[in-house]
Amino acid sequence: MILELDGNIDLNKVKNNLLNQIKSGTCVNNYTFEVNLIYKIIHDHSNYECHQWTIFGFERDIVERELKSLLLEISKLDRNLTWDCLSIFYRYQSLLDERQQMTKKYIRSN
């Protein structure tokens, strides 16, 4: 798999950091705490940011497999995140065509 979580994530530390961001107003949106936590893990504690546009250049089934694998690893950190991981997967599925078009239009493939 290309997408991977960082080696040793301290989930309590990540949760506390997110709580502080919410309290200070630097994280403002309509998502639940759990969804925000999953996005924080994806964007701050994995290699997703480095590989996202490369991934979206692949065939749909490969992209879905990569995202499922990453979200499965997140759900293993805390089983209570499983349903929210599933909803995030469906969100990525709905955005996939748009992101693949953007990749083809703006990102050069090697």
What pLDDT sits at residue 108? 58
What pLDDT sits at residue 94? 87
Q: What is the enclosing helix (H) or strand (E) of 98?
A: helix 82-106
pTM: 0.89
pLDDT at 110 over 60: no
Higher per-residue confidence, 86 vs 98 = 86
| pLDDT, tens digit, 9 for 90 and up, residues 25-79 | 999 999 999 999 999 999 999 999 999 988 988 999 999 999 999 999 999 999 9
> Average pLDDT of the chain?
93
DSSP3 helix / strand / coil % (the chain, rounded to 5) = 75, 0, 25
Q: Which of 78, 14, 7, 81 is nearest to 41 (CA)?
A: 14
Considering the chain, what percentage of its residues have pLDDT values greater than 90?
Answer: 78
What pLDDT sits at residue 44? 97
What pLDDT sits at residue 17? 97
What pLDDT sits at residue 109? 52
